[in-house]
Amino acid sequence: MRVECAQLASGISASGKSLFYRPAKRIADIVLAVPAIVMFFPVLIVMCVMIKCDSAGPAIFRQERMGRGNRRFIMYKLRTMVNDAEQNGPLLAVADDRRMTRIGRFLRRYHIDELPQLWNVLKGDMSIVGPRPEREHFARLISDYAPEYSRISSVRPGLTSWGNVMHGYASDIQGMVVRLRYDLDYLDNMSPYTDLKVIFYTIKILITGKGI
The pLDDT, as a whole number, for residue 146 is 95
The pLDDT, as a whole number, for residue 17 is 61
The pLDDT, as a whole number, for residue 1 is 41
The pLDDT, as a whole number, for residue 18 is 67
Task: Output the CA–CA distances (angstroms, integers) from residue 53 to 58, 66, 86, 111, in the order listed.
Answer: 11, 31, 21, 20
Mean pLDDT per block of 10 residues along the chain (212 residues) reads 40 56 94 96 96 94 95 97 81 79 90 95 97 94 94 95 87 90 94 94 83 52
The pLDDT, as a whole number, for residue 10 is 42
The pLDDT, as a whole number, for residue 211 is 54
State the sign of the Cα–Cα–Cα–Cα dihedral 14, 19, 25, 31. negative
CA distance 70 to 56: 33
The pLDDT, as a whole number, for residue 40 is 95
